[in-house]
Structure 1
């Protein structure tokens, strides 16, 4: 009986694809995104990262025209710090609870080397972005890069976190 059950099992392979746009440099971006990325650069300069020496800046454009910035904030009690993306998202949610997040620009780099590879949001930040994308029922454009070089654009968080954990499973 057990052999029959095992032989009759159906396995299904699922392929998940992500479509991203890669810009060779900042100058190829639309002007509004260049402005947003410049705000992310400025925020990155103010990061407090004495332990990792890894500075991240994020800038969020809300549908009301407000731009919110954030940077990573560390402390000696790892992992009690907070990433740039979540700092900005939670501030936006706190101060502008009815506004929608249209776009996020992220820039990251180390004080020990120049990062030229695009650095995407970490898993915790992806989950936070997912929460707001689901809440507002609209995609959030995400642009990310190192300190210079290529910029990657995702039309939605779903490209970066395709199997999202959300309130529907609770």
Structure 2
């Protein structure tokens, strides 16, 4: 038997005010998108802003449904919209803000497993890392230079 060690690296900003102007604006768009979440069951709202290489910004929010798991996470709403409407564009950056509807959350919330897999598919397809910024509703912002930091052992088409 042998053991392997996998390490990841993130940049941590004390607040969104530490982000550069463009990144701060995109995180503010994610925060605004969070207000459009339809989350009557979990009461956990998520908003996303995606920057594409053509300059377009795509927004998404989580959309729940009483027939679980028919809803969709904000990340996949935005990614699939971008893929459908801008199929040749590459995703450069993804900004996430998440929080319960009834309180502020300071903990940065990363994408769930299903969203990580979806982001991985696009990162591999476009052969370009996607910068991922995530936060709660307030407080620290984490930045990953690639999905590989969040999902270091990727499952992709080479295994199929």
TM range, smaller chain: over 0.9
Displacement after TM superposition at 1:67 (Å): 0.0
1:90 aligns with 2:55: no
The separation in 2 between residues aligned to 1:14 and 1:53, in whole angstroms, is: 39
1:148 aligns with 2:138: yes
Partner SS for 2:134: strand
Counterpart for residue 167 of structure 1: 157
Pick from 60, 63, 71 the counterpart of residue 53 of structure 2: 63
TM-score scaled to structure 1, two decimals?
A: 0.93
Partner SS for 1:58: strand
What pairs up with 1:123-138 in 2 under 5 angstroms? 123-138=113-128
List, as ranges, runs of 4+ consecutive aligned residues in structure 1 with deviation greater than 6 Å. none
Structure 1 unaligned blocks of 5 or more: 1-10
The separation in 2 between residues aligned to 1:151 and 1:33, in whole angstroms, is: 11
TM-score scaled to structure 2, two decimals?
A: 0.99
- 1:106-125 CA distances to partner (integer Å, 9 max, x unpaired)? 00010132110000000000
What pairs up with 1:15-26 in 2 under 5 angstroms? 15-26=5-16
The separation in 1 between residues aligned to 2:75 and 2:67, in whole angstroms, is: 20
- 1:1-25 CA distances to partner (integer Å, 9 max, x unpaired)? xxxxxxxxxx110000000000000
Pick from 95, 102, 110 the counterpart of residue 120 of structure 1: 110
The separation in 1 between residues aligned to 2:88 and 2:17, in whole angstroms, is: 32
How many residue pairs align between the two structures?
160
Pick from 38, 48, 53 the counterpart of residue 43 of structure 2: 53
CA RMSD of aligned residues (A): 0.5
